[in-house]
Structure 1
Amino acid sequence: MSGITSVRNANLQDMVTMLRDQQAAKLDVVAPATALRSRDGAIELSGVDPVFDENGVTVVNGLYTPTKDADATIAAKLGIGLKYLRRLRAERPDLYDANVNGLLHGKAKRTAAGETTVIHPADDRSFLLRLFRGQEGDHGVMRALLSDSYGIIDNLDVLTAVLDGIRQADAEVEIRSCDLTESSMHCKVYSPGVAALAPHFLGGYRNPFANPDLEAQRREVAAEIDGVRRLAASEGEGYEAGDEPVVFAGFRFSNSEIGDGAVTIKPELFVKICRNGLTLPLLGLRKMHQGVKMEHGSVTWSRDTQNKHLAVITAQTRDAVGEWLSPQFLTARIEEIEQQAGAPVSEADKTIKVVGKRLGFSETEREGVLSHFIAGGKLTAGGIANAITSYSQTVPDADRADALDDLALSAMALVK
């Protein structure tokens, strides 16, 4: 199942194909705690009616292997420490079963008189289980254990709604890359026709990814930045081809299908030459996955309900694109950033260590950012922001990479 749950830097068509494959494999079931049992580290469903849909009849009862993100939702719902639960999965699946089953079903004992005494009551809640069907007798995959009032908004629907909002805004954009993880989808969009100079932020910055492949990418974007180059020359500030401090207007959108967040749309400043993306999360939009309590059994949303959710996302995208992909918005954001970008960094190792600790970077992340900072050659606060957004491109976990890009501006602001 991992082949259709994760991908990094996919193009739009590949992403659509993967999401359609996922849609065909999905099962959404609301079941009481009494219908769930852990067996050898897998979650067993019983007493749930079969699902009838366009794929035919699917028997829901059976075993589902939780993903690492599903374990996180199990831990959260049952009040088990996540590190402890994951250690049990790896080392003591028998104790994993005992912990999960004990909290789901409680504990009772029979007295000498033959009566049953409840020591710990069973969990009386119902849950939404987001699943993938098993294939050819294999276990299915458990993606999440969620509240039975969780509002389902799927990745393919979000992608479709955002693209519709872009169409309604009549914006010239390119989808530059898409990422898919077990928990989230991330897509990055930019407008090749909306660009501006950022000399204090990018002037003197060297591309840390300099190599023949990236040189070919430079040649591909030459036509797009000709207009900005001419503007720079007219102002007496010429730049060598490939070294122009040019930033493009863009935005990102993301979604989680398993409770790790919301539908999020946020503006981004995109440096295409090195593919750095500086996000502006404080200006972004979020739509939480809020729904109503659902009945037991398989979940089938009405088209009317889905359309209402998606219409909001489409309208928000249309309005955001109209604002964020404008020369005025881009110029204003660059002016704000350049006020802080020039602060000098004299002790790179010490500064990045302090900044990294403040922002929760791991030791590996701090070392990676430092190496990109040195390679970039710009010893300023703006250089640290660029180092974070270039390092993030090397991080395999797309969710963490997106979080790092969100922290780049905060890191720049911490440099005094």
Structure 2
Amino acid sequence: MTQQFAERAMSTEPDSARNANLNDLYALLESQQARKLDVVLPASAMRAQQGQIVVQGVEAMITDTGVTRADGIYRPTAVADEGIADKLRIPIAYLRRMRTENVPLLDSNINEWLRQEPERRFMLRAFRGEQPPEAAPGEGVARALLSDSYKRIDNADLLFAALEGVQNSGHPVQITGCDLTNRRMYVRVESELVAVQARELLRGYRSPFNGASGDELPLVSAGFVISNSEVGAGACTITPRAVFQVCTNGLTVAKDVMRAVHLGGKQDEGVISWSDETQTRTLALITSKVTDAVRTFLSEDYVRTKVAEIETAAGKELAEPTKAIEDVTKALSISAETKDLILSHFVRGGQMTAGGVMQAVTSAAQTLSDADQAAALEAHALPALTVAAQHG
């Protein structure tokens, strides 16, 4: 394990992972799969009680594995609270305050708005509690409250489809890291066989992790990130990502992203048993998109073009680096704590240019324990370069 990976915080929350390997991610997804429950239900079958969501009156479903019951008590995650706020048009800041300071008022608000439209239908995505599916109701986890038109693309299915797409391309790659949060899954793919020299871009740069020199290690490898949300936090995406050999900083190119949205037809009420035919069509599309992504993003021409596009802006010397970073973090709504982290990485990187700010953003992202925050910060690197270059 390299020093920079050793320094990264690892998430210890249940059902989450940070910088995991592929086997660990698969084991976690397999564990989740056995506990998943998806149900379309009317507002009249839901109520809030002591801050939790109670489901009552949903018809059980008989499947190959037995009887699956949805009735029970579900503890909402932060993502589920966001869905509840969105669907019932309750300001999220107010909902969070009620959950912290006045749970009876929270129950009253949710229940009153549910009573306004008793026939309105939602999709509840949940994890069952420890009891088997056929047992009496017990406490589970409400993962998300979504539209009844939401189309499932589950992480485990997508992972297999994506790996099949990589295999179909015939291009050797490695999985360099995987993250799983209650919002999204991230799988980072890299090809060390496809790399270009970026001597101008890395001139004078040092890794903030181990002091390695960009002049001595000027290679930039091709790669991409496969990302997906099971809970309505965005589309399934395949985003190109360049990886700097000197520091393993990743530079995502959001404007070239490939995506597949989670939107389908209305679902019937009750526990959902997803059609094999529907899933097969969806996953075949994912496989095809990944195959295309490998051919498009894992090419020297693509990486060389992207490096050339940013070199001019990246080379601009900064007369007032602290002011530049202040303006970058303000323009991109980056927190004061993260701003200080970026500044620290900028100083350690030793590159007093707009490109040094870009590198500081990507290296700082590696140290964040929250994978969603890390991905969001890494995606800010190119916009940060644009803002910083204005100070050159």
| Fold shared, TM-score > 0.5 on shorter chain | yes
Identify which of 77, 97, 100 aligns with 2:107.
97
Work out whether residues 4 and 22 of structure 1, in 8 Å CA contact, stay in contact via their aligned partners in 2.
no
Distance 1:242 1:383, change over 3 A: closer
Distance 1:54 1:20, change over 3 A: farther
Hey, what's the Cα distance between the residues in 2 that align with 1:359 and 1:96? 33
SS in 2 for 1:388: helix
Q: Work out whether 1:133 is the aligned partner of 2:106.
A: no
SS in 2 for 1:204: coil
Distance 1:241 1:348, change over 3 A: closer
Hey, what's the Cα distance between the residues in 2 that align with 1:60 and 1:301? 15
1:307-354, CA deviations, whole angstroms, 9 ceiling, x for partnerless residues?
111111111111111121111111111111212110111212111111
- Tell me which residue corresponds to 1:179: 179
- Tell me which residue corresponds to 1:189: 189
Higher deviation after alignment, 47-56 or 97-106:
47-56
- Tell me which residue corresponds to 1:314: 287
Hey, what's the Cα distance between the residues in 1 that align with 2:176 and 2:63? 35
Q: Work out whether 1:344 is the aligned partner of 2:325.
A: no
1:109-147, CA deviations, whole angstroms, 9 ceiling, x for partnerless residues?
xxxxxxxxxxxxx34310000000011475100000000
SS in 2 for 1:69: helix
CA shift for structure 1 position 3: 5.0
The code of the aligned residue for 2:159 comes to L
Work out whether residues 37 and 43 of structure 1, in 8 Å CA contact, stay in contact via their aligned partners in 2.
yes
Identify which of 23, 32, 41 aligns with 2:42.
32
Work out whether residues 179 and 186 of structure 1, in 8 Å CA contact, stay in contact via their aligned partners in 2.
yes
SS in 2 for 1:260: coil
Gaps of 5+ in 1: 107-121, 216-239
CA shift for structure 1 position 360: 1.2
SS in 1 for 2:266: coil
The code of the aligned residue for 1:132 comes to F
Higher deviation after alignment, 359-368 or 145-154:
359-368
Hey, what's the Cα distance between the residues in 1 that align with 2:183 and 2:61? 24
The code of the aligned residue for 2:342 comes to V
SS in 2 for 1:144: strand
Work out whether residues 44 and 63 of structure 1, in 8 Å CA contact, stay in contact via their aligned partners in 2.
yes
Work out whether residues 27 and 298 of structure 1, in 8 Å CA contact, stay in contact via their aligned partners in 2.
yes
- The number of equivalent residue pairs is 373
CA shift for structure 1 position 299: 0.8
- Tell me which residue corresponds to 2:6: none
CA shift for structure 1 position 272: 3.5
The code of the aligned residue for 2:273 comes to T
Work out whether residues 155 and 255 of structure 1, in 8 Å CA contact, stay in contact via their aligned partners in 2.
yes
Distance 1:381 1:54, change over 3 A: farther
Equivalences for residues 95-244 of structure 1 within 5 A:
95-106=105-116, 122-136=117-131, 139-210=139-210, 243-244=216-217
Work out whether residues 32 and 124 of structure 1, in 8 Å CA contact, stay in contact via their aligned partners in 2.
yes
Work out whether residues 4 and 21 of structure 1, in 8 Å CA contact, stay in contact via their aligned partners in 2.
no
CA shift for structure 1 position 55: 4.8
Question: What is the RMSD of the two structures over their aligned residues, measured on CA atoms?
Answer: 1.7
CA shift for structure 1 position 53: 3.8
Distance 1:241 1:367, change over 3 A: closer
Hey, what's the Cα distance between the residues in 1 that align with 2:342 and 2:291? 35
The code of the aligned residue for 1:180 comes to L
Identity rate, percent: 45
1:214-253, CA deviations, whole angstroms, 9 ceiling, x for partnerless residues?
x8xxxxxxxxxxxxxxxxxxxxxxxx79931111000001
Identify which of 56, 63, 68 aligns with 2:66.
56
Hey, what's the Cα distance between the residues in 1 that align with 2:51 and 2:198? 53
Distance 1:55 1:391, change over 3 A: farther
- Tell me which residue corresponds to 2:7: none
Distance 1:45 1:378, change over 3 A: same
Work out whether residues 199 and 215 of structure 2, in 8 Å CA contact, stay in contact via their aligned partners in 1.
no
Q: TM-score, normalised by structure 1?
A: 0.87
SS in 2 for 1:29: strand
- Tell me which residue corresponds to 2:261: 288
- Tell me which residue corresponds to 2:17: 7
Equivalences for residues 79-98 of structure 1 within 5 A:
79-98=89-108
Q: Work out whether 1:359 is the aligned partner of 2:354.
A: no
1:181-225, CA deviations, whole angstroms, 9 ceiling, x for partnerless residues?
0010011110011111111221211111118xxx8xxxxxxxxxx
- Tell me which residue corresponds to 1:298: 271
SS in 1 for 2:356: helix
SS in 1 for 2:380: helix
Hey, what's the Cα distance between the residues in 2 that align with 1:135 and 1:390? 40
The code of the aligned residue for 2:309 comes to E
- Tell me which residue corresponds to 1:69: 79
Work out whether residues 80 and 144 of structure 2, in 8 Å CA contact, stay in contact via their aligned partners in 1.
yes
Gaps of 5+ in 2: 1-11, 132-136
Q: TM-score, normalised by structure 2?
A: 0.92
The code of the aligned residue for 1:356 comes to T
SS in 2 for 1:208: coil
Q: Work out whether 1:259 is the aligned partner of 2:246.
A: no
For the pair shown, the structure with the greater C-alpha radius of gyration is: 1
- Tell me which residue corresponds to 1:393: 366
CA shift for structure 1 position 276: 0.6
1:45-68, CA deviations, whole angstroms, 9 ceiling, x for partnerless residues?
000122434553333211000001
CA shift for structure 1 position 383: 0.6
1:7-42, CA deviations, whole angstroms, 9 ceiling, x for partnerless residues?
110000100111111111100000000000000000
The code of the aligned residue for 1:291 comes to G
Hey, what's the Cα distance between the residues in 1 that align with 2:366 and 2:97? 30
